[in-house]
Amino acid sequence: MNITTTLRKNPLFRNIDPNALQSLIKECHVKKLEKGHELFSMGEHAHSLYIIMDGWIKLFRVSRSGEEAVIHIFGPGESFAEAAVFSENQIYPVNAQAIEESEVLGIPRSFFVNKIKEDSNFALTMLGTIAARQNFLVHHMEQLTTRSASQRIGYFLLRFCQESHDKNGQMVVTLPYDKSIISTRLNIKPETFSRSLSTLREHGIITNGRQVTITSIDKLTEYCDLQKSEKLC
């Protein structure tokens, strides 16, 4: 996934005008992380927000007793650290670590500050997309509290399915190697994750190692109790 594609897919920049997009691309930086390497640490100056081009990033805190508390896990196409970058203190409130080999796109705070000053329409667009992001987070919390474990996994698969279809119109999702990553994100136990994948077979899911094939988007969407307009592929 190249920089232009990454930006166009993200809600924050989906409607950005071509000239602004080219200016942004010049200021972006790509960073590759090995599994286990930290992107930033809690308390560091928040100079950039990030979009994941490939891999998975875990946001977490460590308690005084040394226990790790996972705040959230982000996957391809998702952005994070917006609140830290736009806050008055400009401090990262958590640690960010790659939980598999990853590639992230860093976008400096300075771009937003300068662009907002010169373009009020851009500022309104940013406000609109941030509001939409908040609505998505509310919807995500609803998924965690009102859906069964298998429905949560189905929703997750719909969100992260690949764009390309095979010859039968099916969709393929490549899961992280460690399924506990997704289990943590969806607030379910790892053993429940495996059982739930088996349950999803009757709803159009075929598993083969890390590869998960969705044979029917509509069937899975109906099972997850989503409206067709909510499909996130």
Mark whether 83 and 183 lie in a shared domain. Answer: no
Mark whether 104 and 170 lie in a shared domain. Answer: no
Question: Residue 1: pLDDT band by 50, 70, 90 thresholds?
Answer: low
Mark whether 138 and 200 lie in a shared domain. Answer: no
- Of the residues 143, 158, 173, which one is the last residue of a structural domain? 143
Mark whether 98 and 13 lie in a shared domain. Answer: yes
* Euclidean distance between CA atoms 142 and 152, whole angstroms: 10
Mark whether 21 and 123 lie in a shared domain. Answer: yes
How many domains in the chain?
A: 2
Q: Helix, strand, or coil here: 113?
A: helix
Mark whether 10 and 121 lie in a shared domain. Answer: yes
Mark whether 81 and 135 lie in a shared domain. Answer: yes
Mark whether 109 and 28 lie in a shared domain. Answer: yes
Contact 40, 95 (CB under 8 A): yes
Tens digits of residue pLDDT in 138-175? 766 766 678 899 999 998 888 776 555 565 667 888 88
User: Where in the sequence is the domain holding 190, given as residue range(s)?
Assistant: 149-230
Between the alpha carbon of residue 126 and those of residues 99, 122, 212, the distances in Å are 29, 6, 35
Mark whether 158 and 134 lie in a shared domain. Answer: no
Tens digits of residue pLDDT in 69-126? 888 888 888 899 988 998 889 999 999 999 999 999 999 999 888 888 888 887 887 7
The CA-CA-CA angle for residues 210, 213, 219, to 5°, reads: 140
Mark whether 154 and 102 lie in a shared domain. Answer: no
* Euclidean distance between CA atoms 173 and 185, whole angstroms: 16
Mark whether 107 and 184 lie in a shared domain. Answer: no
- Of the residues 91, 112, 143, which one is the last residue of a structural domain? 143
| Domain harbouring 160, CATH code | 1.10.10.10
Nearest Cα to 111, choosing from 86, 132, 93, 91? 86
Question: How would you class 201 by CB atoms within 10 Å of its CB: exposed for 0-12, middle for 13-18, buried for 19 or more?
Answer: exposed
Tens digits of residue pLDDT in 187-208? 888 889 888 988 899 898 998 8
Is residue 230 predicted with pLDDT exceeding 60? no
| Domain harbouring 90, CATH code | 2.60.120.10
Mark whether 72 and 131 lie in a shared domain. Answer: yes
Q: Helix, strand, or coil here: 77?
A: coil
- Of the residues 143, 175, 206, which one is the last residue of a structural domain? 143
Joined tokens for residue 89:
């203190």
The total number of residues written for the chain in this structure: 233
Average of per-residue pLDDT values in the chain: 84
* Euclidean distance between CA atoms 8 and 15, whole angstroms: 8
Phi and psi (nearest 5°) for 108?
Answer: -70, 145
Nearest Cα to 97, choosing from 133, 143, 30, 52? 52
Break the chain down into helix, strand, coil percent, rounded to 5.
45, 25, 30
